[in-house]
Structure 1
Amino acid sequence: MFQKVLIAEDVDFMSSGIKMALESLQIPVIEYAQYCDEAFLKLKKAFLDNEPFDLLISDLSFVENPNPQRLTSGEDLIKEAKKLQATLQTIVFSVEDKPYRVQQLCNELVVNGYVWKSVNGQRELKNAIKKVFDGEFFISHQLAHTLRSKETFEITDYDVFLLKHLAEGKDQKEISIELKESNIKPNSISSVEKRLKTLKENFNANNPTQLIAITKDFGLI
Structure 2
Amino acid sequence: MFTKILIAEDRDNENLGIVSAVQEFTNAQIDTAQFCDKTILKIKAAINEGNPYELLISDLSFTLDYKKHTITTGKELIKEVKKIQPDIKVIVFTGEKKPAIIKSFFANQKIDGYVCKGLYGLSELIKAITAVDQNTIYACPVSKDALHQKNILKLEPYELQLLKLLVQGYKQEEISQYLIENDIAPYSKRSIEDRIRKLRDDFNAKTNIQLIYTVNQLGLID
Please report the TM-score for the alignment, with normalisation by the length of structure 1: 0.74
User: What root-mean-square deviation, in Å, do the aligned CA atoms of Structure 1 and Structure 2 show?
Assistant: 3.4
Q: Which residue of 1 aligns with 2:89?
A: 89
CA contact (8 A) 1:145 1:151 kept: no
Aligned to 1:158: 159
Q: How far apart in 1 are the matches of 2:57 and 2:47?
A: 16
Counterpart CA distance in 2 for 1:146 and 1:181 is 37
Q: How far apart are 1:4 and its partner, in Å?
A: 0.3
Whole-angstrom CA distance in 1 between matches of 2:48 and 2:124: 32
CA distance in 2, matches of 1:63, 1:36: 10
2:132–2:138: 8 Å Cα contact kept in structure 1?
yes
Q: Which amino acid aligns with 1:82?
A: K
Provide closer, same or farther for how the CA distance between residues 64 and 82 of structure 1 changes in structure 2, counting only shifts above 3 A.
same
Superposition pairs for residues 105-124 of structure 1, below 5 Å?
A: 105-124=105-124
| CA displacement 1:170-190 (0-9 Å, x = unmatched) | xxxxxxxx6444446444445
Rate the CA distance shift 1:27–1:151 in 2: closer, same or farther, 3 A. farther
| Unaligned stretches of 5+ residues in structure 2 | 180-184, 205-210
Change (3 A) 1:15 1:114: closer
Unaligned segments of structure 1, at least 5 residues:
166-177, 200-207
Q: 2:104 is paired with a residue of what secondary structure?
A: helix
Q: For residues 5 and 86 of structure 2, what CA distance do their matches in structure 1 show?
A: 15
Give the Cα–Cα distance (whole angstroms) in 2 for the partners of residues 79 and 19 of structure 1.
24
For residue 14 of structure 1, report the CA deviation from its aligned partner: 7.2
- Give the count of matched residue pairs: 198
Cα distance per residue 1:172-219 (max 9 Å; x no partner): xxxxxx64444464444457768999x9xxxxxxxx96x445x97x94
What's the CA shift for 1:141?
1.4
Question: What SS does structure 1 have at the residue aligned with 2:90?
Answer: strand
Please list the CA deviations of residues 80-129 of structure 1 after superposition, one character each: whole Å capped at 9, or x if unmatched: 11111111000111111112222112211100011111111111111110
Name the CA distance, whole Å, in 2 between partners of 1:21 and 1:157: 45
Please tell me whether the aligned partners of residues 60 and 75 of structure 1 are also in contact (alpha carbons under 8 angstroms).
Answer: yes
Match of 2:207 in 1: none
Judged with a 3 Å threshold, the aligned counterparts in structure 2 of structure 1 residues 158 and 131 are, in CA distance, closer, same or farther, namely: same
The TM-score normalised by the length of structure 2 is 0.74
**Correspondence for 2:132:** 132
Q: CA separation in 2, counterparts of 1:137 and 1:113?
A: 6
State the distance in 2 between where 1:160 and 1:27 align.
47
